[in-house]
Chains A and B, each alone.
Chain A
Amino acid sequence: MTFPQPRPQAPQLPQHLLTTIDCQQGAVRAVRFNADGNYALSCGSDKSLKLWSVSRGTLLKTYSGHGYEVLDADGSYDNSQLCSCSSDKTVILWDVATGQVTRKLRGHAGKVNCVQFNEEATVILSGSIDGTVRCWDTRSRRFEPIQILDEARDGISSLKVVQHELLTGSVDGRVRRYDLRMGQLHVDFISSPITCVCFSQDGQCTLSSSLDSTVRLLDKSTGEMLGEYKGHKMKGYKLDCCLSSKDTHVLSCSEDGHVYCWDLVEGSLSLKLPVGKAVVQSLSFHPTETCLLTAMEGRVQLWGLEPEETVKTEEDTMAS
């Protein structure tokens, strides 16, 4: 396990607000970059899913069809499809261009917390509060999932797929990693309910945030803890955490309206980004650049490395 060498220059962090988007869709439950980072998806509590251009901050499309608030979404690698999950227990596969529902997948017994495409968008994986992860086939017309992973004893709060590995975080306080290639299931006991799990970009570590207000970096192969990040507040809400695009920093939402950003190696808090007053519910780091999306209440904010004066002044004038 090797970490990237710490750079001599100051850490590059998205500390300047670039854009604020008022999504007009109720509380934004999740905000996600697409695969290349040019677009963003916002999941609203008013049952809609919206696609935004990140650079312009404009609404591109609204996808409506869910019966209750949308909780998570993901875009396929080729930007041709979207999947989203909702409290209405369904997972919907969308066609990006037309905005039509390609498939509506029912089967979960409770609200579906998280959804992900696999790398080739051949499978949709959805984790629900009913404690199961369902693997839906996008290639066939089958309406039953290919497989149901019911190992978790409590709701699945988060899942991530990288290549042949599936990482799930559950409220039963365990991080499970399903290795399809090896045919193994690794269970890491964290004890506190998991709110979010991530793979590191190099695929060697897993990051998991739990309700004891701690973010932990675990070695993927052995399960040993490599880092522990504290200081933020995550006690009751399902909030996101993530790693920066270069694996240099660990970021986490907090209930105190900040995004906390720690140095991955040192574990020291390197940035406390004031987003607002309310709970920062979701965040998404740009896949390549130093760029961060945060969601608080009904707003999505884009943070970048360089300050963008024009936007700020515009905002000011608007507000006044």
Chain B
Amino acid sequence: MASDSDSDEDFVTYGTPLEPLEEDEPLKKPVPLHEQTVKDEKGRYQRFHGAFTGGFSAGYFNTVGTKEGWAPSTFVSSRQQKAEKQHVRPEDFMDDEDFSEHGIAPREITTSQEFSSGRKDAVREKARAVNAQAALIPGDTLLEELISPARLSIGVELLRKMGWKEGQGVGPRVKRKARRQQTKGSSRVHGVVLPPAGSEDSEQEEDDDDEEFAPDNVTFAPKDVTPVDFNPKVGVQGLGYRGLDPGLALLGGGAAEHIDLFRPQSDTRSRLFGGAQRGSRRGGGVAGQAFGVGALEDDDDEEVYHRDSMSRYDTVLGGEEPGDGLYGWTAPQQYKKKAEKSKDASYLGKILEGFTLAQKPVRDKTIFPPPDLPRDYRPVHRFRPAVDVKSLSGVSPALAEALKTSRGHMVKEEPEQGGRHQLDSGQRRALLGEDTLQGPSSVMELLRPEDRERLKNLRNSSNVPATKAAPTPLSQDALKSAVTLAGSLAARAAGSADHGHDRGHDHGRQQEALAAWKGIQTTSQTFRPFEKNPSKQARYEMYLNRLKQGDKDALEQSLDSGVTEWERSRERDEFVRASILYRPSSSSLSSRFTRAKKEEDDNSVEVSRDEEGDVDDKQAAVNMKMFGKLTRETFEWYPDKLLCKRFNVPDPYPGCGIVGLPKVKRDKFSVFNFLTVTESREPPAPPKPPESGKRSRWDVSGQKAEEKKKEEDPLSELLSAARNQTETKPEKTLPASTSTNHQTPDSRTKEAKSADQEKGNKDDQEEEEVEEEENRPPMDLFKAIFAGSSDEKSSSSSEGESEDEEEEVGDTKKEEVQGEPQLINLFKVPSSSSSSSVTSSTTTPNTTSSRHTAVVSTQNSTQVEEEFGPKLPPPSAALSRGGATSIRSPAEEEKLSKRSKDKKHKNKKQHKHKKEKKVEKPNKNRVTLSPDCLFFSLLNLPSFIYRRRNTRSTNTKGSSKRRARRRRRTAAQRRTVTVENQSRFPQKSCSKD
């Protein structure tokens, strides 16, 4: 560093200046990069190698010393030189580079600390010693101390003459607490210590070490000042970097521990200050920041890499520690720990025992003048009404819960904060050790009985504002208290304006609780909601007992009279709620069961907390079409958290683990968990004939009951009714029966009609019977009719697979039993048969006419295999015919329907004709050769239809095999089909043609 004194400007130059360019000198060519080489001292090229050894290769191309490798030591006979020991030093294995300045064992003489700076005074030494704690070799200063200096400086001699001793500070002796360094004036004094400026004031200085009282006549030398040892930073390494320590590297010297830059208080410190010396464990090896932990080193638990964290740094500048000002914020740790200061000593004797002086002077409180009271101010406090959570129907349950708990359930965490509010006045009284108030516990008792009565009435009438009924005829002394009471009531009424029905609601709930508990004789253990508060639980139980006795005033009587009105109202609410929530499962039936002797928790099962209400009531409401409140029920329902997330909806019950409907524990073996109460109450048989569609398919029992009922009806009545029904309601049962074939129900009904007319037994009575036909006759009846073969055959015929076996049976039966044309069946067959059981089963139930025929059995059998719930319509006839579908536009279908209507008319005309043909039917059945021809010849169909049929039949005639099969099916199906839903036929038949 050199400063140019000649120039006026204060330039600071650094480094070696370039030699000035001479005139006329040719410019040097810059050496290109690839020609820039590094050679070692022997002229060998060095190639850049790595970071550890300065970046250059070592040895002979990173291997060994010579080109030849290791030269083995020449063999020497040991005879002559037996005694001579081989002394192998580490240096023998070292390269030349290792002995160089930057190697691990430098041999050159370098300036070391000892030589660079001479001995200084002891103060300086001490400072160095302190600083050396963080230094590299901790022992060096100690060594220096051991070798005491031979010569002292004149200043030290002089000081000694003046009475100064080593380790003392310089300056006049101070009286008390002198060793406390004054921080004010003498901070940052290095070298010679100035006398403390305010040593007289030091009396007021805090004592840091000992709190003892020092006698007045003892003086102390001022504390020695330890200056900071400023070592100039040499080298270009980063702050805190420590290179290889040669001493440690080879000899495994004392401090082989891992350096911790940020923990100055290592064990060297303890060594320095006389702490227990830790034995060095390290046997050898190279240590330093440049190296990690070698594989050979034995202690693995040592921290290999520094883990630095920001917490080790000060993030704030300033904020001088209240120390002795020696070090500032960089002071060693022991200086930072300052004992708690106290000025107590100066106040000794003046302050009371057990008290200490305040750390901070008390700030003057600004005192505000009290507000001016308005002239009409009346010092009456109105309590806020208790929030009736239940009555706020619109509030979400979560909010309601929050409201409920907001009353101070945080007691657990802060007992001093909220606990007061949790206790009732009795408990508070017990805490405070007060006696029960002797006076009247309630203002009510101050009133005269008649006034009390009035007030009670007033209170019970919910909607009447209490103020209006403010008692005028009260006596003067009672008036005051009554006004207070009325005021609170009024506030109550007004405060709960939005839930004005509060009272009424409460009353309703009380009634509900009463109804639930009344007459229950079980003394068994019920749920104890207030177990934590025994007296409250006792009151609750008393309340329950009274409820069981049917006491209407149970609530009022069982409440604690010693508490305030507000608490009582709260308790009232709680009791009612609890009694409703934990009411016995069924009042009527639970008395018939005895409780288990021992109640076990695992004997309980979780059931839905909210039971559905009475179904009968709802049914009645539905019948009256009074939908709304009567049919609506609302439950709390807990959606899954993830579901809410997926729906982008906030969780309505955050932090609640319940999913679905909330469950409560009930006895596992209680019947009521599995039966709903309403079901048990259900009347055995509804008086009216149940609608067919109303029931689920579950209740076969209902059907059976129905069947039994029908069983009583005489057979003849049934049959005639059947005929009647088809006759009277052809339109209703067959709204879509606009098919082209004529012997579908229409024709049958006509025949039936004619037959009836012949008999002449048609009267009005039958009209009524029609109503009863809604119900299906019992199966047994049909068994009786179709003796023997009917049951299994009909059911199996519906399956459509075993047509072959049943062919004959069906045929014979048909001929025997049914006096109806069967030709139609020929046309129906393909669809119904191929659609198999699904069709037959699904088509049956919704027809009324099918009820009174033999299909009942088939229906029953198919319903077993049918699943629950509304069925699906049968697959289309087109499909069932094997994919030969023809799309017909509705327009065309309309045409067809028109035609069929025409045909219907024709049917009527052709009644007699048909009747004649009826006789021939059995024959036709047997023939079954060409149903089309027969059919048309029978019915005298219009020619265009006939033509149409022919064309269609030619299409289908393709395979005679199929036809044969169809015929077989026909036979099998006939029985079913005839009795099946007629409304279904048209579609099949029409799609067929």
Is the CB–CB distance between A275 and B890 below 8 Å? yes
Q: Indicate the member of B397, B636, B871, B890 with the most A CB atoms within 10 Å.
A: B890
* A151 touches which of B642, B661, B878 (Cβ 8 Å): B661
Query: Does A73 make an interface contact (CB < 8 A)?
Result: no
Query: Does A299 make an interface contact (CB < 8 A)?
Result: yes
With A137-B646, A147-B659, A222-B632 as given contacts, are A237 and B889 in contact (CB-CB < 8 Å)?
no
With A27-B873, A255-B846, A312-B891 as given contacts, are A185 and B635 in contact (CB-CB < 8 Å)?
yes
With A180-B644, A212-B693 as given contacts, are A26 and B879 in contact (CB-CB < 8 Å)?
yes
Is the CB–CB distance between B660 and A297 below 8 Å? no
Q: How many angstroms from the CA of A163 to the CA of B886 in the assembled complex?
A: 42
Query: Does A288 make an interface contact (CB < 8 A)?
Result: no
Known contacts A189-B621, A213-B693, A237-B872; 11 further A-B pairs (Cβ under 8 A)? A129-B868, A147-B660, A171-B870, A183-B636, A189-B632, A223-B631, A236-B845, A236-B871, A238-B871, A256-B983, A319-B889
Q: How many angstroms from the CA of A192 to the CA of B612 in the assembled complex?
A: 17
Query: Does A211 make an interface contact (CB < 8 A)?
Result: yes
Query: Does A101 make an interface contact (CB < 8 A)?
Result: no
Per the CB 8 Å criterion, the residue count for chain A at the interface is 92
* A315 touches which of B632, B661, B878, B889 (Cβ 8 Å): B889
Specify which chain A residues have a CB less than 8 angstroms from the CB of B640 in the assembled complex. Answer: 135, 146-147
A169-211 residues with Cβ-Cβ distance < 8 A to B are: 171-173, 178-193, 195, 210-211
Specify which chain B residues have a CB less than 8 angstroms from the CB of A210 in the assembled complex. Answer: 693
> Contact string, A270-291, partner B, CB cutoff 8 A, digits 1/0?
0000111111010000000000
Query: Does A60 make an interface contact (CB < 8 A)?
Result: no
Specify which chain A residues have a CB less than 8 angstroms from the CB of B693 in the assembled complex. Answer: 192-193, 210-213, 234-236
Is the CB–CB distance between B622 and A146 below 8 Å? no
Is the CB–CB distance between B886 and A135 below 8 Å? no
Partner-A contacts on B (CB < 8 A):
396-398, 612, 615, 618-619, 621-623, 625, 627-629, 631-640, 642-644, 646-650, 652-653, 659-661, 691-696, 698, 735-736, 738, 842, 845-846, 867-879, 883, 885-894, 897, 983, 986-987, 990-991
- Can you sample 7 A-B contacts with CB below 8 Å? A110-B867, A129-B869, A139-B646, A171-B870, A238-B872, A277-B987, A318-B887
Q: How many angstroms from the CA of A292 to the CA of B825 in the assembled complex?
A: 36
Which of chain B's residues has its CB closest to A154's CB? B696
Query: Does A50 make an interface contact (CB < 8 A)?
Result: no
Q: How many angstroms from the CA of A150 to the CA of B660 in the assembled complex?
A: 8
Q: Please report whether the interface of chain B is mostly helix, strand, loop or mixed according to DSSP.
A: loop
Query: Does A298 make an interface contact (CB < 8 A)?
Result: yes
Q: How many angstroms from the CA of A184 to the CA of B640 in the assembled complex?
A: 12
A127-162 residues with Cβ-Cβ distance < 8 A to B are: 129, 135, 137, 139, 146-151, 154-155, 157
Is the CB–CB distance between B647 and A180 below 8 Å? yes
Which of chain A's residues has its CB closest to B990's CB? A277
With A235-B692, A274-B894 as given contacts, are A191 and B618 in contact (CB-CB < 8 Å)?
yes
A45-72 residues with Cβ-Cβ distance < 8 A to B are: 45, 69, 71
> Contact string, A245-280, partner B, CB cutoff 8 A, digits 1/0?
000000000011100000000000000001111110
Specify which chain B residues have a CB less than 8 angstroms from the CB of A178 in the assembled complex. Answer: 637, 639
Query: Does A12 make an interface contact (CB < 8 A)?
Result: no
Is the CB–CB distance between A319 and B886 below 8 Å? yes
Is the CB–CB distance between A180 and B652 below 8 Å? yes
Is the CB–CB distance between A123 and B647 below 8 Å? yes
Q: How many angstroms from the CA of A212 to the CA of B870 in the assembled complex?
A: 12
Q: How many angstroms from the CA of A135 to the CA of B639 in the assembled complex?
A: 10
Specify which chain A residues have a CB less than 8 angstroms from the CB of B867 in the assembled complex. Answer: 110-111, 129
Count: A-B pairs, CB below 8 Å: 261
With A182-B396, A276-B890 as given contacts, are A193 and B869 in contact (CB-CB < 8 Å)?
yes
B652 to chain A, nearest CB (A): 3
Query: Does A42 make an interface contact (CB < 8 A)?
Result: no
A265 to chain B, nearest CB (A): 17
Q: How many angstroms from the CA of A185 to the CA of B625 in the assembled complex?
A: 22
With A224-B628, A225-B628 as given contacts, are A297 and B878 in contact (CB-CB < 8 Å)?
yes
Q: How many angstroms from the CA of A129 to the CA of B869 in the assembled complex?
A: 7
Is the CB–CB distance between B696 and A171 below 8 Å? yes
Is the CB–CB distance between B622 and A281 below 8 Å? no
Which of chain A's residues has its CB closest to B735's CB? A256
Specify which chain B residues have a CB less than 8 angstroms from the CB of A113 in the assembled complex. Answer: 869
Is the CB–CB distance between B643 and A281 below 8 Å? no
Query: Does A20 make an interface contact (CB < 8 A)?
Result: yes
Is the CB–CB distance between A180 and B879 below 8 Å? no
Is the CB–CB distance between B879 and A298 below 8 Å? yes
Q: How many angstroms from the CA of A274 to the CA of B628 in the assembled complex?
A: 34
Specify which chain A residues have a CB less than 8 angstroms from the CB of B879 in the assembled complex. Answer: 26-27, 45, 297-298
A57 to chain B, nearest CB (A): 12
Is the CB–CB distance between A164 and B647 below 8 Å? yes
> Contact string, A99-111, partner B, CB cutoff 8 A, digits 1/0?
0000000000011
B934 to chain A, nearest CB (A): 24
Specify which chain B residues have a CB less than 8 angstroms from the CB of A163 in the assembled complex. Answer: 647
B897 to chain A, nearest CB (A): 8
Specify which chain A residues have a CB less than 8 angstroms from the CB of B618 in the assembled complex. Answer: 189, 191
Which of chain A's residues has its CB closest to B694's CB? A192
Specify which chain A residues have a CB less than 8 angstroms from the CB of B987 in the assembled complex. Answer: 257, 276-278
Closest 9 CB pairs of A and B: A297-B876, A183-B652, A211-B693, A223-B632, A236-B846, A238-B870, A27-B875, A225-B627, A185-B637
Query: Does A228 make an interface contact (CB < 8 A)?
Result: yes
A251 to chain B, nearest CB (A): 17
Is the CB–CB distance between B846 and A123 below 8 Å? no
Is the CB–CB distance between B735 and A319 below 8 Å? no
Is the CB–CB distance between A237 and B871 below 8 Å? yes
> Contact string, A215-228, partner B, CB cutoff 8 A, digits 1/0?
01011001111001
* B661 touches which of A118, A120, A157, A185 (Cβ 8 Å): A185
B397 to chain A, nearest CB (A): 6
A276 to chain B, nearest CB (A): 6
Q: How many angstroms from the CA of A146 to the CA of B890 in the assembled complex?
A: 46
Specify which chain B residues have a CB less than 8 angstroms from the CB of A120 in the assembled complex. Answer: 646-648
Is the CB–CB distance between A20 and B627 below 8 Å? no
With A181-B650, A237-B872, A278-B876 as given contacts, are A312 and B889 in contact (CB-CB < 8 Å)?
yes
A29-56 residues with Cβ-Cβ distance < 8 A to B are: 29, 45
B831 to chain A, nearest CB (A): 11
* B698 touches which of A154, A235, A319 (Cβ 8 Å): A154
Is the CB–CB distance between A189 and B873 below 8 Å? no
With A129-B868, A236-B870, A297-B877 as given contacts, are A20 and B887 in contact (CB-CB < 8 Å)?
yes
Is the CB–CB distance between B870 and A211 below 8 Å? yes
Q: How many angstroms from the CA of A123 to the CA of B52 in the assembled complex?
A: 61
B982 to chain A, nearest CB (A): 13
With A17-B889, A147-B639 as given contacts, are A180 and B842 in contact (CB-CB < 8 Å)?
no
Is the CB–CB distance between B636 and A154 below 8 Å? no
Specify which chain A residues have a CB less than 8 angstroms from the CB of B634 in the assembled complex. Answer: 184-187
Is the CB–CB distance between B990 and A146 below 8 Å? no
Is the CB–CB distance between B622 and A189 below 8 Å? yes
Is the CB–CB distance between A187 and B887 below 8 Å? no
Is the CB–CB distance between B633 and A157 below 8 Å? no
Is the CB–CB distance between A223 and B650 below 8 Å? no
* A223 touches which of B629, B660, B736, B846 (Cβ 8 Å): B629
Is the CB–CB distance between B868 and A27 below 8 Å? no
Q: Indicate the member of B872, B892, B991 with the most A CB atoms within 10 Å.
A: B872
Specify which chain A residues have a CB less than 8 angstroms from the CB of B878 in the assembled complex. Answer: 297-298
A316 to chain B, nearest CB (A): 6
Q: How many angstroms from the CA of A122 to the CA of B645 in the assembled complex?
A: 10
Q: How many angstroms from the CA of A203 to the CA of B893 in the assembled complex?
A: 38
B594 to chain A, nearest CB (A): 30
Specify which chain A residues have a CB less than 8 angstroms from the CB of B842 in the assembled complex. Answer: 236-237
Q: How many angstroms from the CA of A218 to the CA of B621 in the assembled complex?
A: 14
Is the CB–CB distance between B639 and A315 below 8 Å? no
Query: Does A22 make an interface contact (CB < 8 A)?
Result: yes
Is the CB–CB distance between A183 and B871 below 8 Å? no
Q: How many angstroms from the CA of A24 to the CA of B886 in the assembled complex?
A: 11
Is the CB–CB distance between A137 and B698 below 8 Å? no
* B694 touches which of A17, A186, A191, A274 (Cβ 8 Å): A191
Specify which chain A residues have a CB less than 8 angstroms from the CB of B650 in the assembled complex. Answer: 181
